[in-house]
Amino acid sequence: MPLEYPIHERTLDNGLRVVVSPDSSVPMVTVNLWVDVGSRHEVAGRTGLAHLFEHLMFQGSRNVASGEHFARLMAEGGRLNATTWFDRTNYFETVPKGAYELALWMEADRHGYLLDAVTQENLDNQRDVVKEEKRQRYDNVPYGNALIEVYAATFPAGHPYHHPTIGSMEDLDAASLQDVHDFFRHYYGPNNTVLTLVGDLTPEEGFAAAERYFGPLPASASPPRDNLPQLQPLDAPVRVDRPGAVPNDRLHVAFRLPVDNTHEFFAAALAVDALGGLTTSRLVQRLVRREQAANSVQAHTMGFVDGASLGFLVVDVAEGHDPEEIEAAVAEELERFAVEGPTDVELESALAQSERAWLSALAGQEERADLISQHALLHGDPQFVNTFLDRLATVTAEEVRAAADAWLRPEHRAVVRHLVQAQEDAA
């Protein structure tokens, strides 16, 4: 039986897609916007612009002073933030019902009139903030660049997912005020955005408010380019070694996967979970519990829309064990799973974990709004929140095995190894 969260849709004359999902359980409203621009839209030499823009969006606009967006909504008891990823940039706030029109007015002002406040001074200031964020989150922490290296090893140069969202120091330095203004004009407009309202309001109230504040904005964005065709698996293993000052050896074993929101992606994601994403998964049982050769095994999938997705395993190697032997054991289990597929218990466990995670996400108003926006923007399907579990339940054990055979064989892997550097080598 499908879930039944109420979903009401309308598209304004300027192209803004509006979704309203009433929820009167608390007198709050979540305002959630997804803009169809992320790091996959960036060009060589100008990486990091999408994320830099997320920061600039809080530095004021035509009628809002720098810092006022946070100050005014927090004064109303709201919470708010924004994030940038490969496929999108999102902006969100949850406020008491009496403040949701204030939130919409401020969002509309910066989505329509940001450039009035994007000065060289603001650009330089936020460029420095982003560079410091890169130092703190990536460059100066153990394993901080692991995923950056995974992207580069798994996807070819020039592919939308080859470079990270944070960008490079050189590209951030090179970004000019004109680059930033051009980027905004190209991607920021109601015709490239989804607005989702979840909370204590009726569909009529939500649509009327969206029209009131966003309706006057012109359809100013240029459509993003068409997506690339499906990228095929690697035809031979790729390995990147990074000796350094890390607590223990760690392996990232990555694979290209089918694009998001397809039956084959669901099957491949279940295979990744069965291999390493559960306490009962094969690699956890073998490497952590029986052989005690690894401290932990984790598994992750990232569903992307532009020609590929990503799946990877993270293995923390226990002290005294050889990472070469650990990688060989992983390859052995990958080969076995591609031939045998999941057991009934493994498939049931992977499905149960997916169901638990999905229902947990939907229970919160903020994350529910985010998932509605995601699937409305990237797949044209805001009803996905209600149908996903039924779609996932149709995946069979044979389809999981076939997906593993097609995408997760040892020869398809890209491995980034962070290795403990001996003191004499470091000196």
* Residue 34 · residue 212 · CB < 8 Å: no
In the residue annotation, 264 being an active-site residue is answered as: no
By C-alpha distance, which of 8, 396, 385 is closest to 196? 8
Structure tokens at 345: 């218990």
Structure tokens at 314: 């993270």
Residue by residue, DSSP assigns 2-71 as ------EEEE-TTS-EEEEEE-TTSSEEEEEEEES--GGG--TT-TTHHHHHHHHTTS-BTTB-TTHHHH
Beta bridge partner(s), residue 294: 317
Torsion angle in degrees (nearest 10) through CA of 7, 12, 16, 19: -10
- DSSP three-state, residue 368: helix
What is the number of alpha carbons within 13 Å of residue 245 lying toward its C-beta? 7
State how far the Cα of 199 lies from the Cα of 202, in Å rounded to an integer.
9
By C-alpha distance, which of 330, 340, 300 is closest to 411? 330
b/e sequence 125-146, b meaning 16+ C-beta within 10 Å: ebbeebbeebeeebeeeebbbb
User: Which residue in 4, 42, 54, 346 is the catalytic one?
Assistant: 54
In angstroms and rounded to an integer, the radius of gyration of the C-alpha atoms of the chain is 23
Alpha-carbon distances, residue 46 vs 36, 116, 171, 394 (angstroms): 18, 22, 5, 42
Structure tokens at 188: 């920021």
Position 113, amino acid:
Y
State how far the Cα of 141 lies from the Cα of 172, in Å rounded to an integer.
21
Angle, CA 347 vertex, CA 342 and CA 348 arms, to 5°? 150
* Residue 218 · residue 395 · CB < 8 Å: no
Alpha-carbon distances, residue 108 vs 54, 77, 220, 316, 368 (angstroms): 15, 20, 13, 46, 22
The catalytic residue positions are 54
